[in-house]
């Protein structure tokens, strides 16, 4: 509302005088003026009035709060009128009011908040819960209770917890109702849920108006109803709903906290009133239990009985928040004075320049300390009867939480809690604040409620409206493969496999499904299934059934049921029979496999011969004999009948590994040859989709099948190669003609169609593997609950065997199966055995390396001295000697080496003896010579 219209309201304030500038000289005055606006006769107002009066008395009786200053409360009753609330807010300015408690209604708060902004007077409301009362727009508005934003988040979590996807919103059409429902829509969207229908009601709606709206609601699909209104209109809505039969089984009613306020304040309610509330889920603002709260609640009966002409009434959470609002304001005022704040008012320069005739504009003064008081309010950190009182950066109270209440019998039952910290829980929120935050779906829990209709089974959440409208279900009008689905000539009836599955699934639904099958197509060509699904999004059809493959681009447009048949793409090609011949025994292996196998027979034979040649007489002899021995030994291992014994350890290891390889090869060969000789084989030059990708031959596909897009977009096949075909006869003719005569090399189609095609045409067959995984399903609009129920029904058909029986009835043919033919399996190739050959080859190589090292050591030991003495130390001489050494028998080498060693020992002994004799003779001669010399001297 513009400031101009606010000024017009001043005409009602002719008694307000112009006071100019009023300043309290004392920093702590004796009295502080505080205003309060409420509706005393309303269910919230009467509780708040008693709580506020009690709080003011408690504050004034406690000298430690305001240090002697008294809080003077000026309470105005707006009689539930927004207009009077605005006028009363203006009248407070006459008495230098520093803050206003209220207003009670969000609608009134939107207007008074503009006055508070202009005059800088804090506005503290315990019941204006509209989430759009933002501090950005209304900086002097302070909400001292929980915002409806959190209440709607709790409702969204409840809806998501029970697995519902759509709700209906019934609400009062004012700022409180519209903005609350807008917040609900946002919170539901976060859970991938939505409001499917909105039913606004006038603020002064009559019973007839409510009835008209609820009749519209009853004609909708959803059965989850959120009722967001006031305590006055809410019971009337539920009473009318009971009259219309909308409180029975299948319905879910979730109300905001107005219902819990009624139950807390007016309990016990008459039985007739409670009958209208049975099974309803409602919320209550949560306040933790504490000693302060218990003491205040124990005083409540005395407080209400003394000051209420109509006797005592119950305490609601609004009363607790109203009581804490006074204490919050008292502590803020005390902090205001402690910071040096003074209560002073000055004229608004914007108003003094206006001349409004008899309007006393000068009476509207600005509170100079408003900003400081507002800051003090937001910085308060105390504990009240509602728990900790502290504001977040968004000016919301910390720890927002609600109780989830189920109305049953003559009272209510708490089935859990909701908090912004932990979501839904059966434990009080304050016990979870010390744990790590966990909002996962597995951590959400509520006790089981009693739903409307006195049932504990969770309602499905939706039903077909009783408006006589049938679902328009599109059915493709096929011209080929009529076993799948077809329209009976001259009627609107359909038959086929898909139709039988759909009817059987509908019969399993726990409710009646009114529908009408509508043909889609011109009857001359097979229709496009993608286009059929698209028409669901435009509202032409409510669903589509038939051979509709579940592929990516279709799932973006609609929701599909569980597949009722697997049907991926396969390749069909002509095949020829392979009859047995004189050379059939060669077919199990490819030529490369035969060549490699033969090569390894020789390699192993040579390796064993090398390892056994020096020590085994069976592997010695003339060259011709040795060559025959190698061939015989290697080939005889094929039958495990080799007669030569292996002596060396290395030879035995090589032979053991080779015999294992031979066992695998012979077993595989035997199995493949048995299949070739006992089962009639079919062969085709096309081995699968890889063959078609690597060739340039034309490819056939069913007209308007998704196979065309898949081949072009996913496999990169040129579109010019693709030829559309309609009927099975077209398939057969194109495959028989082949690419040379204008036909196709192969046809790519879905498995279900191919099975029908091949059931009577044995000259064709599936080649390769199924190269996509897909299935057929029924299509429904996005987020349709019918898709889930139909999926459940299809699963039941699969479990009880009915789905297979319908498949056998329509799609099973056995004309070719009795012939015992099978598509020829690929011949055994080297890639299937290369691991065995690698192991065997490595074993041979390793054994020969070890053997070669041993030979070098023996050769250096026995021949090194001989080579040096004989002068054959050249490389060629050493090589010739080494080859001769390797060819010799090991025993011969050892005996010759031993003999040479003995000879060297004997020669060494003889030499030593000769040298001793010569020495003796030399000494004897010397002695004789000496004697002769002595004799001569004597003569």
DSSP characters over 761-830:
-TTEEEES------EE--EE-TT-HHHHHHHHHHHHHHHTTHHHHHHHHHH---TTGGG-EEEPPPPB-G
Asked if residues 300 and 46 have their Cβ atoms less than 8 Å apart, the reply is no
Higher pLDDT, 183 or 828: 183
- Integer Rg of the chain from CA: 51
Pick the CATH number of 471-567+776-812 from 3.40.190.10, 3.40.50.720, 1.10.357.10, 3.50.50.60: 3.40.190.10
Segment 504-508 shows an average pLDDT of 94
Nearest Cα neighbor of 5 from 79, 95, 112 is 112
644's CB contacts (< 8 A; 6+ apart) are: 612, 616, 618, 619, 629, 633
What is the pLDDT, as a whole number, of residue 873?
53
Considering the domain delimited by 31-145+289-389, tell me its CATH architecture: 3-Layer(aba) Sandwich (3.40)
Instruction: Determine the pLDDT at residue 933.
Output: 35
Is the pLDDT reported for residue 279 higher than 90? yes
- Number of Cβ atoms within 10 Å of the Cβ of 812: 13
Decide which of 626 and 716 is more confident: 716
Q: Which residue has the higher pLDDT, 852 or 826?
A: 852
How far, rounded to the nearest angstrom, does the alpha carbon of residue 473 sit from its chain's CA centroid? 31
Report pLDDT for 597: 80
Residue range 706-742, pLDDT digits in tens: 999 999 999 999 999 999 999 999 999 999 999 989 9
- b/e per residue, 381-403, with b = 16+ CB within 10 A? eeebbbbebebeeebbbebbbbb
Alpha-carbon distance of 36 to 45, in angstroms, equals 11
The answer to whether the Cα torsion of 678, 684, 685, 687 is positive or negative is negative
Residue 189 to residue 178: CA distance in whole angstroms: 17
Instruction: Kindly state the helix (H) or strand (E) to which residue 662 belongs, with its residue range.
Output: helix 649-678
Q: Which of 113-117, 201-205, 838-842 comes out lowest in average pLDDT?
A: 838-842
- 716 contacts: CB under 8 Å, gap ≥ 6: 693
Long-range contact list for 638-645, CB < 8 A, 24+ apart? 638/601, 638/662, 638/666, 644/612, 644/616, 644/618, 644/619, 645/616, 645/618
How far the first Cα of the chain sits from its last, in Å, is 175
Give strand pairing partners of 700.
723, 747
Q: Which has the minimum average pLDDT: 405-419, 549-563, 594-608? A: 594-608
Q: Phi then psi for 573, rounded to 5 degrees?
A: -145, 160
Q: How many percent of the chain have pLDDT more than 90?
A: 52
Q: Is 422 helix (H, G, I), strand (E, B) or coil?
A: coil
Q: List, in order, residues 6 or more apart from 439 with CB less than 8 Å away.
A: 422, 423
Residue, of 797 and 773, whose pLDDT is higher: 797
pLDDT the model gives residue 6 = 45
Indicate if the pLDDT at residue 911 is higher than 70. Answer: no
Q: Residue 837 — very low, low, confident or very high, per pLDDT cuts 50/70/90?
A: confident
559 closest CA partner among 308, 333, 777: 777
d(CA 488, CA 393): 70
Q: Spell out the residues 6+ positions from residue 888 whose beta carbon is closer than 8 angstroms to its own.
A: 614
Asked if residue 664 has pLDDT above 50, the reply is yes
Q: Is the pLDDT of residue 383 over 90?
A: yes
Q: State the sign of the Cα–Cα–Cα–Cα dihedral 841, 845, 846, 848.
A: positive
The pLDDT value recorded for residue 106 is: 92
- pLDDT digits 0-9 by tens, 218-260: 988 899 999 999 999 999 999 999 999 999 999 999 999 999 9
pLDDT bucket at 934, cuts 50 / 70 / 90: very low
- pLDDT surpasses 60 at 694: yes
DSSP per-residue codes, 511-541: S---EEEEEES-SSSPPPHHHHHHHHHTTS-
Strand order in the sheet with 31-38: 70-77, 31-38, 99-101, 123-125, 141-143
Q: What is the mean pLDDT of residues 785-798?
A: 93
Q: Rounded to an integer, what distance in angstroms lies between the CA atom of residue 744 and that of residue 701?
A: 10
Q: What percent of the chain has pLDDT over 70?
A: 80
Evaluate whether 74 touches 92 at the Cβ level (below 8 Å): yes
d(CA 143, CA 345): 24
533 against 646, higher pLDDT: 533
| CATH architecture label of 682-773 | 3-Layer(aba) Sandwich (3.40)
**Which of 55-64, 154-163, 469-478, 682-691 has the lowest average pLDDT?**
682-691
Does residue 346 surpass a pLDDT of 80?
yes
Does the pLDDT of residue 143 top 90, yes or no? yes
pLDDT (tens digit, 9 = 90+) per residue, 754-789? 988 988 888 888 888 888 888 999 999 988 888 989
> What is the rounded distance in angstroms from the CA atom of residue 443 to the CA atom of residue 424?
8
Q: Which two tokens mark 699?
A: 């490819």
CATH number of 148-288+401-443: 3.40.50.2300
Q: Are 654 and 611 in contact (CB under 8 A)?
A: yes
**For the chain, give me the number of helices (H) and strands (E)?**
30, 35
Q: What is the 3-state secondary structure (H, E, C) of 383-400?
A: EECCEEECECCCCCECCC
Nearest alpha-carbon partner for 131 in 189, 192, 177: 177
pLDDT of residue 886: 62
Q: Per-residue pLDDT for 430 more than 80?
A: yes
Residue 497: in which H helix or E strand, if any?
Answer: helix 497-508
For residue 116, give the H/E element and its range.
helix 106-119
pLDDT at 104 over 50: yes
Q: Strands 344-347 and 22-23, how do they pair?
A: antiparallel
Cis? peptide before 205, omega within 30° of 0: no
Is residue 556 pLDDT above 50, yes or no?
A: yes
Q: What pLDDT shows up at residue 814?
A: 60
Which of these, 137, 223, 226, 234, lies nearest to 184 by C-alpha position?
226
Burial 665-697 (b: 16+ CB within 10 A, else e): beebbeebbeebeeeebbebebebbebbeebee
Asked whether residue 375 carries a pLDDT value surpassing 70, the answer given is yes
Predicted confidence (pLDDT) at residue 11 exceeds the cutoff of 50: no
The more confidently predicted of residues 680 and 702 is: 702
What distance in Å separates the CA atoms of residue 247 and residue 864, rounded to the nearest whole number? 112
Which of the two residues, 400 and 438, has the higher pLDDT score?
400
Say which residue the tokens 């006459």 belong to: 94
Among the residue ranges 338-347, 350-359, 684-693, 797-806, the one predicted with the least confidence is 350-359
Query: Which residue in this structure is represented by tokens 């493969």?
Result: 481
């Amino acid at each position: 509302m513009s400031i101009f219209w606010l000024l017009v309201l001043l005409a009602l304030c002719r008694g307000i005088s112009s006071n100019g500038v009023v300043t309290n000289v004392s920093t702590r005055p004796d009295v502080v003026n505080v205003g309060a606006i409420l509706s005393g006769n309303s269910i919230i107002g009467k509780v708040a009035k008693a709580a506020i009066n009690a709080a003011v008395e408690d504050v004034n009786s406690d000298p430690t709060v305001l240090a002697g200053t008294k809080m003077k409360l000026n309470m105005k009753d707006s009689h539930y009128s927004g207009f009077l609330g605005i006028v009363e807010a203006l009248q407070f300015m006459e008495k230098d009011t520093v803050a206003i408690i209220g207003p009670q209604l969000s609608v009134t708060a939107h207007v008074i908040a503009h006055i508070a902004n202009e005059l800088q007077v804090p506005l503290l409301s315990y019941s204006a819960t509209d989430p759009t009362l933002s501090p950005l727009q209304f900086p002097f508005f302070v909400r001292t209770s929980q915002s409806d934003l959190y209440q709607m988040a709790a409702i969204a979590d409840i809806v998501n917890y029970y697995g519902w996807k759509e709700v209906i919103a019934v609400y009062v059409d004012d700022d409180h109702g519209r903005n609350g429902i807008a917040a609900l829509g946002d919170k539901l969207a976060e859970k991938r849920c939505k409001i499917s229908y909105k039913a606004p009601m006038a603020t002064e709606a009559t019973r007839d108006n409510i009835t008209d709206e609820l009749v519209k609601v009853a004609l909708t699909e959803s059965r989850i109803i959120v009722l967001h209104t006031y305590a006055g209109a809410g019971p009337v809505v539920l009473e009318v709903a009971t009259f219309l039969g909308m409180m029975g089984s299948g319905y879910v009613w979730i109300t905001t906290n107005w219902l819990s306020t009624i139950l807390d304040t007016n309990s016990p309610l008459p039985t007739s009133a409670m009958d209208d509330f049975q099974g309803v889920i409602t919320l209550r603002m949560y306040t933790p239990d504490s000693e302060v709260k218990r003491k205040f609640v124990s005083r409540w009966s005395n407080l209400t009985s003394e000051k209420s002409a109509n006797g005592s009434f119950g305490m609601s959470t609004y009363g607790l928040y109203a009581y804490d609002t006074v204490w919050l304001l008292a502590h803020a005022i005390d902090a205001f004075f402690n910071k040096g704040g003074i209560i002073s008012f000055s004229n608004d320069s914007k108003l003094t320049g206006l001349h409004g005739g008899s309007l006393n504009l000068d009476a509207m003064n600005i509170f100079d300390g408003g900003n400081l008081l507002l800051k003090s309010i937001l910085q308060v950190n105390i504990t009240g009867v509602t728990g900790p009182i502290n504001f977040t950066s968004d000016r919301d109270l910390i720890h927002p939480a609600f109780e989830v209440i189920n109305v049953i019998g003559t009272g209510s039952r708490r089935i859990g809690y909701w908090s912004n910290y932990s979501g839904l829980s059966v434990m009080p929120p304050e016990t979870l604040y010390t744990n790590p935050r966990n909002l996962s779906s597995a951590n959400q829990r509520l006790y089981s409620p009693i739903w409307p209709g006195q049932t504990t089974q969770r309602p499905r959440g939706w039903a077909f409206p009783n408006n006589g409208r049938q679902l328009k279900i599109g059915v493709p009008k096929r011209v080929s493969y009529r076993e799948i689905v077809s329209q009976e000539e001259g009627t609107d009836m359909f038959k086929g496999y898909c139709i039988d599955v759909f009817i059987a699934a509908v019969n399993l639904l726990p409710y009646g499904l009114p529908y009408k099958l509508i043909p889609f197509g011109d009857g001359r060509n097979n229709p496009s299934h993608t286009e059929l699904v698209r028409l669901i999004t435009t509202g032409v059809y409510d669903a589509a059934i038939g051979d509709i493959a579940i592929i990516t681009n279709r799932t973006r447009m609609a929701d599909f049921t569980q597949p009722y048949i697997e049907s991926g793409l396969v390749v069909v090609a002509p095949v020829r029979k392979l009859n047995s011949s004189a050379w059939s025994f060669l077919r199990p292996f490819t030529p490369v496999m035969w060549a490699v196998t033969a090569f390894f027979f020789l390699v192993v034979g040579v390796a064993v011969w090398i390892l056994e040649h020096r020590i085994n007489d069976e592997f010695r002899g003339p060259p011709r004999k040795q060559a025959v021995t190698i061939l015989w030994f290697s080939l005889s291992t094929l039958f495990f009948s080799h007669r030569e014994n292996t002596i060396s350890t290395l030879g035995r290891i090589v032979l053991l590994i080779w015999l294992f390889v031979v066992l695998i090869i012979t077993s595989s060969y035997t199995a493949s040859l048995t299949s070739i000789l006992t089962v009639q084989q079919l062969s085709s030059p096309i081995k699968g989709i890889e063959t078609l990708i690597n060739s340039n031959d034309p490819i056939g596909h069913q007209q308007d099948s998704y196979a065309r897009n898949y081949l072009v977009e996913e496999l990169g096949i040129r579109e010019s190669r693709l030829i559309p075909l309609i009927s099975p006869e077209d398939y057969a003719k194109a495959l028989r003609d082949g690419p040379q005569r204008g036909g196709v090399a192969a046809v790519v189609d879905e498995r279900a169609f191919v099975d029908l095609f091949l059931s009577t045409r044995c000259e064709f067959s599936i080649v390769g593997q199924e190269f996509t995984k897909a299935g057929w399903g029924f299509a429904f609009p996005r987020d349709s609950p019918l898709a889930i129920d139909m999926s459940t029904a299809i699963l039941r058909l699969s479990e009880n065997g009915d789905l297979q029986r319908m498949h056998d009835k329509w799609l099973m043919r056995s004309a070719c199966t009795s012939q015992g033919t099978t598509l020829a399996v690929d011949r055994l190739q080297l890639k299937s055995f290369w691991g065995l050959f690698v192991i065997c080859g490595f074993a041979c190589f390793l054994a020969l390396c070890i053997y070669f090292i041993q030979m070098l050591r023996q050769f250096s030991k026995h021949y090194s001295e001989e080579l040096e003495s004989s002068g054959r130390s050249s490389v060629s001489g050493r090589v010739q000697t080494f080859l001769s050494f390797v060819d010799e028998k090991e025993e011969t080498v050892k005996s010759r080496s031993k003999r040479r060693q003995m000879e060297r020992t004997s020669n060494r002994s003889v030499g030593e003896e000769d040298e001793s004799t010569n020495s003796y003779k030399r000494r004897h001669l010397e002695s004789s010579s000496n004697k002769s010399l002595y004799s001569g001297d004597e003569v």
